[in-house]
Chain A
Amino acid sequence: MNVLLSQKDLGLISAYLDDRLSQTQKNLLEERFRSEPGLKRNLDELQHTRTLLRSLTPRKAPRNFTLSSQYARFHPRSRVLSLTFGWASGAAAFALIALFAFTSFLPLRAALPMAAPAPAMMNDTALESGTTNPPQIITWNMPNMAYGRGGGGGGGDGNSSIEAPKSAGAESMTLSEPAGGGGMPPVINEPQVEDAAPMTLSDSQVPQQTFAVNESADPSTLILGLPQPGTEGQQINTVPASTSAALFIDANPILWTILLAALALSFALAAILFHRR
């Protein structure tokens, strides 16, 4: 008849049989064997089971399992090369997909910021009644495309309409050199506004603190990098600093696509070749 054995006691007895207990644990368990006959019986039965298992006759291999000379052609190192080329092929394919996504979506991302400030500038224009400054036309990055206050197409009438980009070739967008004239927008380390005239706030909501860029800076030029007053009508091409990577890739995306595709294909072929060896 089997005496109920807890999982903990079972583990202790099993470890005791293999001499895997510490001396303290062994002493405690042996004391329990003396005081608990049921536990002692379990020990005897498990010990007997282990003895029977160890008495199994070892089986001899029916033949030699040595490998024939055909396996000598397979070099273990070729597996490392196969794995290496496999991973390289995967990385090249991933880079190719990333390049495709980057070049596909970059024109869309570049177009988004252009629309956002336009309503604000429209409000600013509406609030500033009586202003005599003509709207400023700024072309960023894409010649013949107008953004910013006053909308597109060279308006001096204060219209705040926005003209859609004329160029639809987002994938083949090229960066042009600054066309001169207004030069680069001012680089501002600390926000400073000389006159309190924010773009989206009414006059009654002008903030108290003052900031200054230079003596004649228009506040609206600070963040957006709009040209200085007096430079209206000049085309200013700016190159956002964050797209330096895009510069390099966009210079010749087709070349990069072909290169990455060729790399992925050649690495995959090499991986297959080494795997078959």
Chain B
Amino acid sequence: MDENALIQSAMRGDLDAFNRLVLAYQDLAFNVACRMLNDDDLAADAVQNAFISAWRSLTTYRGGSFKAWVMRMVTNGCYDELRRQKRRPTTALEPVAENGDEMESPQWLASDDPQPETSMEQAELEHALTHCLENLPPEFRAVVVLVDVQGMEYEQVSQSVRAPLGTVKSRLARARLKMRDCLQGFEELLPARFRLESEVAE
């Protein structure tokens, strides 16, 4: 069954058809939510709520990119969570080292890569990028995650974030500039292969 047939079937109330769509898009949705919220548990909640909202409001889907339509639910859920965090900031319980200093979350140290050196480098990059993404305003973060991390088209992103195309382009350009400025602070820490060639040459 192709996607359009699944969508039509789901709109008629076929939950199995809708679940097949969920399986097709859940990885993408979880990725976006993770990059937006920087927390696996919160991201999972946001994705689950997004798919529940999608099922309940399936009649509002008027054609076009179903991927963008689902991503809209996910980004809205992430925005809601970020607003909630802003209203009620929480302090994370970090493990404490032997000397009493707080340790950073060890999650970024974990890697499935069999080569430890590569996994460590990748982890350092992930840490740097995650840190810089977290410093972006939510609307900038959403655009750069959807375009640069997930590879979506401008038009799809415009539909997902409910902003005009010009606004998407502007936000993306400014987000990339902010990311560049932030990553320059990590440049010395990044492995050579992740540095800019000109910087390495210097």
Contact = CB atoms under 8 A, between A and B. Distances in A.
A65 B48 contact: yes
Contact of A53 (B15, B30, B31, B149): B149
A52 B194 contact: yes
Interface range, B side = 35 or more
Interface stretch (B56-64, B78-86, B87-95, B97-105): B56-64
Interface residues of A, number: 42
B162 interface: no
A14 B27 contact: no
Contacts of A129: none
Task: State the main secondary structure of chain A at its contact with B.
Answer: helix
Contacts of B66: none
Given A71-B15, A76-B11, A49 B183 contact: yes
Contact of B51 (A54, A67, A72): A67
A14 B149 CA distance: 15
Contacts of A15: 169, 173
Contacts of A26: none
B44 to A, nearest CB: 6
Interface string B12-28: 01010011001100110
A49 B179 contact: yes
A77 interface: yes
Interface in A31-69: 41, 44-46, 48-50, 52-67, 69
Contacts of A11: 169-170, 173
Contact of A18 (B18, B34, B129, B154): B154
B198 interface: yes
Nearest to B123: A57
A44 B26 contact: no
B13 A65 contact: no
A203 B19 CA distance: 91
Given A14-B169, A52-B125, A64 B144 contact: no
Nearest to B41: A62
Given A54-B151, A62-B40, A72-B15, 11 more contacts: A11-B170, A46-B177, A49-B176, A53-B129, A56-B126, A60-B30, A64-B22, A66-B51, A67-B19, A76-B59, A80-B59
